[in-house]
Amino acid sequence: MPKKEFKLGRRATSYDVAIAAGVAQSTVSRCFQPDSNISTETRAHVKAVAQALGYTPNALARSLITRQSQSVGVVITDYTLRNSPNVLYALSDALCRVQKRLILFAIEDDEASHAMLDSALEYPLDGLISCANMRTQDVNRFINHHIPVLFFNRRSTNKNVDCVATDQVGGGRHMAECLIKSGYRTFMCLGGPAHAPVSRERMRGFNQTLRRAGLAAPEILATDFSYDQGRAVFLDAMKAGTRPDCVFCANDQLAFGVIDACRYDLGLKVPQDIAVAGFDDIPEANRPSYSLTTVRQPTAYMVQQAIELLVDRIGDPSRAAQHIVVPGEIVGRSSASITG
């Protein structure tokens, strides 16, 4: 085997491998491309030399030649990372199956997406999946850099942008219909931050349905979507007013906080004294300690659709945008007795 002829601590390059193996630098690159036209013997020889030198191909350098980095950026909010990590896992797994790597851009909330723009554009991305809202001018900057953008669980009217989203309004509407049909008449609503689009849509569908049924639509109590805020805001509201029949929460974490506040702070039974419903159906919702009635987002299906759309868009940037809206599914458990 050849001896290392470069300074200790310097990463070996394809040029080092080419010199040591006695081949052209382009041959080294081709040896690491599975579909390249190169002999078995040459490939084995070059790879053995590369292993001895500690060489691995540089994906970023290769992207300059192929004009594809096999990397996809994913913009995701801190809330989703903390409370719905299954979304990130599903996206990572689906991208891996189409030989794409995930580069993560975590932001505080939807309002902060503009701040990550310049750093994201520094990467040679094949595409961008955004789980947060983005300004039109920011979306256009990616498109102008030939980086297709897909919105995941966010809506877009951009004719050049695909999106896959849960029917947030329809999910809130369906939950309200089920609760009303089951006999609940007075409600409390816990939403996310006032600017959060997902929360606004879910609450709009819920309260519009209450009004159409001739029931009072409650004020939406703003939170940060967290368990702690759900518990604290609910307790404050209970001290200030009468007890509702049911609390509808914009996500499951808020609902968990409400359930624990009932049990451990107020001594109330769920659902006998007060019912609780959520939205998302994250894995914890099915645990016996919560057994939460909620609206299920079909995350696995949505991710599958999103990756297919992105791959199609990379292959054909000029095709018409597709906007897929997926209905949520009511999941009845013991936190609220419902009639489907």
Mean pLDDT on 128-156: 92
116 pLDDT more than 90: no
Please state, as a whole number, how many other Cβ atoms lie within 10 Å of the Cβ of residue 276: 28
Residue 244 has φ and ψ, to the nearest 5°, of -80, 165
Mean pLDDT on 43-67: 76
pLDDT > 90 in the chain, percent: 69
Look-up of token digits 């094949």: 126
Residue type, 339: T
Look-up of token digits 């004294």: 273
* Burial label, 127 (beta-carbon count in 10 A; 0-12, 13-18, 19+): buried
- Rounded Cα distance between 108 and 271, Å, is 34
Please state, as a whole number, how many other Cβ atoms lie within 10 Å of the Cβ of residue 287: 10
Look-up of token digits 């013991």: 334
pLDDT at 64: 47
180 pLDDT more than 50: yes
Query: pLDDT band for position 8 (50/70/90)?
Result: very low
Distance (Å) of CA 94 to CA 12, 63, 134, 297, 308:
32, 21, 23, 17, 9
Query: Per mean pLDDT, which range of 18-22, 53-57, 190-194, 207-211 is the poorest?
Result: 53-57
Average pLDDT over the chain, rounded to an integer: 90
Q: Would you give the distance in Å from CA 234 to the centre of its chain? A: 27
Q: Which residues pair with 106 in a beta bridge?
A: 76
pLDDT at 6: 45
Nearest to 135, CA basis, from 95, 75, 85: 75
Nearest to 291, CA basis, from 228, 234, 335: 335
What are 215-225's pLDDT values in tens digits? 999 999 999 99
Cross-sheet strand order for the sheet of 149-152: 101-107, 71-77, 127-130, 149-152, 162-166, 323-326
* Burial label, 240 (beta-carbon count in 10 A; 0-12, 13-18, 19+): exposed
pLDDT at 55: 87
Distance (Å) of CA 17 to CA 22, 36, 42, 47, 308:
8, 18, 13, 9, 38
- Rounded Cα distance between 189 and 203, Å, is 8
Distance (Å) of CA 303 to CA 86, 90, 257:
11, 7, 28
**Which domains can be identified in the chain, with CATH numbers?**
14-57 (1.10.260.40), 68-166+299-326 (3.40.50.2300), 168-297 (3.40.50.2300)
pLDDT at 209: 98
Is the link from the previous residue into 271 a cis peptide, with omega within 30 of 0? Answer: yes
What are 221-269's pLDDT values in tens digits? 999 999 999 999 999 999 998 899 999 999 999 999 999 999 999 999 9
- Rounded Cα distance between 328 and 28, Å, is 51
Look-up of token digits 């809330």: 79
pLDDT at 149: 95
What are 286-311's pLDDT values in tens digits? 999 999 999 999 999 999 999 999 99
Tokens of 238: 């209970």
pLDDT at 30: 87
